[in-house]
Amino acid sequence: MMNNTKLLQLIRDGEGLAVEFKRCTDKITNTVYETVCAFSNRYGGYILLGVEDNGEVTGVAPEAVKQIKNDFANLLNNPQKFTPTLFVVLEEAELDGKVVLWCYVPPDSQVVMLKGRIFDRNADGDIDITRNSSLVAQIHGRKNAEYTERKIFPYAKESDFDFERLMPLVRRLAISRQKDHPWERMNDNEILKSAGLYQNDPELGKTGYNLAAVLLFGREELIRACTPNYVTDAICRRENLDRYDDRVMVRSNLIDAYDELIAFIGKHTLDRFFLIGDQSVSVRSWIARELVSNILAHREYTSAYPAKIIIERERIVTENWCLPKTPGRIDPDAFTPFPKNPLLASFFINIGRADVLGSGVRNLYKYTKIYSGGEPELIEGDVFRTIVPLVFHVGSVRDKPSYMSDKASDKPYMSDKMSDKREISDRMRGAVSDNSSHALMLSYLRDNGEVTAAEAAKVLERSVQTARRVLSGLVAEGLVTASGANRNRKYRALV
Q: Using the 8-state DSSP alphabet, how is residue 121 labeled?
A: E
Whichever domain contains 104, its CATH number is: 3.30.950.30
Instruction: Note whether 270 and 407 are same-domain residues.
Output: yes
Looking at residue 288, its pLDDT comes to 94
- Phi-psi sector, 244: left (phi>0), alpha (psi -120 to 50), beta: beta
Q: Does the residue 331 lie in any domain?
A: yes
Say if CB 143 and CB 198 are below 8 A apart.
no
How many whole angstroms separate alpha carbon 265 and alpha carbon 260?
A: 9
User: By three-state DSSP, how is residue 249 classified?
Assistant: strand
* Domain shared by 29 and 98, yes or no: yes
Geometric angle at alpha carbon 358, from 252 and 315, rounded to 5°: 60
Q: What is the CATH number of the domain that holds 343?
A: 3.30.565.60
Tell me 229's DSSP state.
Answer: T
In order along its 495 residues, the chain shows pLDDT tens digits of 567 888 898 899 999 888 999 999 899 988 999 999 999 998 888 999 999 999 999 999 999 999 999 999 889 988 889 988 888 889 899 998 899 999 988 888 788 999 999 999 987 789 999 999 888 888 877 776 677 898 899 999 999 999 999 999 999 999 988 888 889 989 999 999 999 999 887 666 788 999 999 999 999 999 999 999 899 999 999 877 778 889 999 999 999 999 999 999 999 988 877 766 666 778 888 999 999 999 999 888 988 888 999 999 899 999 998 877 677 888 777 666 677 888 998 899 899 898 876 677 888 888 898 888 889 999 988 899 999 998 754 443 333 333 333 333 333 334 444 433 333 333 333 333 345 577 778 778 877 788 888 888 888 878 888 888 888 878 877 778 888 776 678 888 875
* First-last CA distance in the chain: 24
Instruction: Answer yes or no: do 138 and 158 share one domain.
Output: no
Q: Indicate whether 112 and 258 sit together in one domain.
A: no
- For residue 177, tell me if it sits in a domain: yes
Helices (H), 14-51: 30-41
Is 421 inside a domain boundary? no
Same domain, 314 and 442: no
Give me the CATH number covering residue 451: 1.10.10.10
Q: Which residue among 386, 416, 446 closes a domain?
A: 416
Q: Which domain holds residue 154?
A: 147-227
Number of domains in the chain: 4
Same domain (yes/no): 173, 93:
no
pLDDT given at position 264: 94
**451: β partners:** 491
Given this model, what pLDDT does residue 156 score? 94
Task: Indicate if 31 and 108 belong to the same structural domain.
Answer: yes
Burial profile 5-28: b = 16 or more Cβ within 10 angstroms, e = fewer: ebbeebbeeebebbbbbbebeeeb
Q: pTM above 0.85?
A: no
